[in-house]
Amino acid sequence: MKLSSIFQLREQATPALINLLESVTLGTNGAHYRHLDTRERIHTADNPLHLILERNDRALGNISFCRRESTWYVRYFAFDKLMQGSGQKKSKGSGGKIKQELVQFFDEVIGADQPYGDINSFYAYIDPNNEKSLWMSENFGFETKATIATQTFSRSKHVKNTRVEKINDWENVAPFIRSEFEGNHYYFEHHLKQGPFYVLRDEGGNIEACAKATRATWAFERLPGKFGGLLTKIIPYIPGLNKIIRPKRHSFLVPEAVVVKNNDSELLEELLEGMLALEKEHLMLWWIDEVAPLFQATKDKVKWGLLHKFIGVNRANLVVKHNDKFEYDNSIPVYTCGFDFV
């Protein structure tokens, strides 16, 4: 595979790449936000490969992949403001040399010659309201395979619970988690094993519910939802809500591998409240496949909190580009790794 000299393939993130990623505001028609912990998080990526558009010691564009056995996850897709379009959807025939080289790269990785090994697919999560992401998805040949709910869980006051404890012992929770998720699409354990984990036990010490969580920090320029722009401006003046969201620098938890005995909504709510209290946070953003049994069983029963009343449930699309070796069963849920969303 021969890329032109404007592209560089690197396994280590360069300072120029990090500067680019830190400068990018994500979203177009819905939420607008920036990741504030990219400088640290990018170095924890699993088996990364960065395809960087470089010029005069600057990174003008980048696609970062996490190489996960037979599939690659598209972790970062970013371009300098000078390289970005207006956000309007473009026709499939538009583009130039850069687009053509990127399309060729995607096609060759999963093509017959297999220059990077036995790779059968790429996958990514995109905001269906973000026309730039949709343009990328359509022009590079990605297909929508699943819908991922972005479910908020918030509490303005902490609810302490001595039944919920924080542990770092993966072996203690591994059987519980594997029994639930090992057969899911895109289940892998690189980030999962690192914890921390939160467990809720019964009187006999048996685990009734557990989860892992990742902490993230974002700056919100606009919240999602019909009134997201207005809400972002008035949040500092709304009692209760101003504890849940701090737009300029907001820290929150991202749960994953959430397992609850019998998919019980009361146990789920107790676990999530306990996690927020232990970490002294007020908000979770939980990305979960809409067909997941736990979400189906609890979505209308849990008291999700004040922010949910304002913005409801937003959604992301799982999109996949694949070759003929790839198989996908829509009835099987997608395992959503917290690292992939923050």
Q: How far is CA 152 from CA 26, 109, 139, 253, in A?
A: 19, 36, 32, 10
176 within 8 A of 259, measured Cβ to Cβ: yes
Residue by residue, pLDDT tens for the chain (342 residues) are 578 888 999 999 999 999 999 998 887 666 788 999 999 999 999 999 999 999 988 999 999 999 999 999 999 998 887 665 544 444 444 347 888 899 999 999 999 888 889 999 999 999 887 777 887 788 899 999 999 999 999 999 998 898 999 999 999 999 999 999 999 999 999 999 999 999 999 999 999 999 999 999 999 888 777 777 787 888 878 888 888 988 889 999 999 999 999 999 999 999 999 999 999 999 999 999 999 999 999 999 999 999 999 889 999 999 999 999 999 999 999 999 999 999
Q: Is 268 a member of any domain?
A: yes
CA dihedral sign, ordered 22, 23, 29, 32: positive
DSSP helix/strand/coil, 190: coil
Distance CA 50, CA 69 (A): 17
DSSP helix/strand/coil, 265: helix
Largest separation between any pair of C-alpha atoms in the chain:
64
Distance CA 278, CA 260 (A): 19
Task: Check which CATH number belongs to the domain holding 96 and give it.
Answer: 3.40.630.30
Q: Are residues 252 and 163 in the same domain?
A: yes
Distance CA 239, CA 235 (A): 8
Q: Are residues 202 and 316 in the same domain?
A: yes
Q: Is 2 a member of any domain?
A: no
Residues 24-83 have pLDDT tens digits of 888 766 678 899 999 999 999 999 999 999 998 899 999 999 999 999 999 999 888 766
> Residue 29, Cα to own-chain centre: how many angstroms?
18
Task: Check which CATH number belongs to the domain holding 293 and give it.
Answer: 3.40.630
| Structural element, H or E, at residue 235 | none
Q: Are residues 160 and 55 in the same domain?
A: no
Sequence-distant (6+) residues with CB within 8 A of 218 are 33, 34, 35, 36, 250, 252, 342
Number of H helices and number of E strands within the chain?
10, 13
Of 81, 115, 141, which marks where a domain is finished? 141
Containing domain of residue 63, as a range?
7-141
Q: Are residues 202 and 307 in the same domain?
A: yes
User: What are the structure tokens assigned to 15, written together?
Assistant: 């300072």
232 within 8 A of 244, measured Cβ to Cβ: no
